[in-house]
Structure 1
């Protein structure tokens, strides 16, 4: 038997190989990142010009209004701020999840940036990581060209101006896209860990948790039906562990709010005070019913287009985690009682809805045709973003 000195040692990790793979992944994604950055640059340029003409400060529009102010206050002072409304209602900062303000505080601590500047920086970097994650999902399913176009189309989403603001949607989309990519590759622990972070970012992580759980359950049922009953859980231990990890971020924040407020249902009470309870779509139906007929018909047409996109995703036979995630984000965005104007923004992380248009656009024979379509969408998105940010209402 060999002694300690002659026993073979485990091979050291090849850091050069790891760096090479990371470089190769980034190089492959470069066209998608460039396309996304170009689309968002159009939005920022139009906003800057419009803000200058209106005598307003574009950076303040991106980092100093609406929800971004709540996140920055948490980053600076922690939780504990409340606002009492004229009708006696109370808005608590506990409605806002902690990952973005934690990152804002960390970036501001190690850079010369203010917390506001840190929030915008985090959002812009998260946008690039989101575009990268969206690209790798699209490229894995339908090829590199579709992946590039998918990232570009997401950057030209109608409410894509929020991607440049100190909001959570961009960070959440980045974590969700990479979590789905890990699940598609069978890297379930990584998928679950990224879902934990997503659960610390937005409540809509429930859609991602459901996507991983249903995909894992479907995999187990398929193996069980094929006769692989013996050792089923042992063979799939990493998948089971990843699925069990997935909801822990969201649950941890719910428990934190419950302990802080001294009530097991405090989180849901806080959200209800903000009007964010689940009503099954009654608020949406009431909003449509209260509109003038032309506006109601237009909104119904937009919802019909949304339903058509969902149908195309099903017809496209998207992998189960991708399909469930996309539909889940749509459902979560529509069945709440919150302010209607926020719903398009809440649906922005549902990038799988853009897969059918991206694949169709990829079939165009000329790259110039593809570029023209993306450019037109980018200009339209930029104009809408500037108009919204320069107006009085929240996104």
Structure 2
């Protein structure tokens, strides 16, 4: 498959499977781009692994940010636009990006999707807090693919889980700048989880090939551009979490997710149980790279207690250590799987805990 055909295939799948029913603007733009060689061709400026639909849409979002008086902005609620998708949306978008094709290619070539979706903390928190409760001590957090590292602040966020039947579960500090809401359902045969009230964190380290400094407005603007433009609440939450992070910043390390993982892990004090977590990172890895990532985690686990908490599509992550659970596949459910893996010697003990919406707004707890 050529680079162009790969880009078009990804755009088509994104429109149907990711944005469909969730983001009317991005569903429309991706579907039309999938049939347009010139627009889809802009993605070929990126390396194959990075040439994702979200990168094309983020690049366009960033350029519209820089020209907020352009007529296209009226379709971007993130910039105050109030118009829904109509007969002019695609033509304006197409004209906009092709007139700025050189700038689009430059952004696509030099950037990659760096979504810091703060609401994912509400999905990750129960699993990480359960691990900490099991460890009976403070834990060290290591986020791989951290971007700006906003999820490393999960121990300082407040959580409200709206359960089926009307009950609510709350966790986290009573007073916090960042409050997250998540719908919590229970799958057939499952039992509502007991969510620990607190998470004691002794160290916070993030690993990313290009960590984002939230104090840099240009870098923060790129993070905002990676948020889907017709979901402005996500942008506001991003800003709030970024401001909160400045009071207690994590240590962010530039490096490779596999090759530099042991060195990043070593930055977490050895006396702390290590919780490595990822959220929607492994789909961007080639198959062999995913296997290498798991092998590296196993190697680190021979020297210290280690848990991996993953919020990833099943077929990109847990399938490597918990095979035979095809009913969890993202291709079937359009949901990520929240899982926990702990190594005992060379043996990985894996458990799938919940199915979760990719952006963290809801999850369904699975049977034990």
Larger Rg: 1
TM-score after normalising by structure 1:
0.26
TM-score after normalising by structure 2:
0.27
**Which structure has the highest helix share of the two?**
1
**Which structure has the highest strand share of the two?**
2
Higher relative contact order (CA 8 A, sep 6+): 1
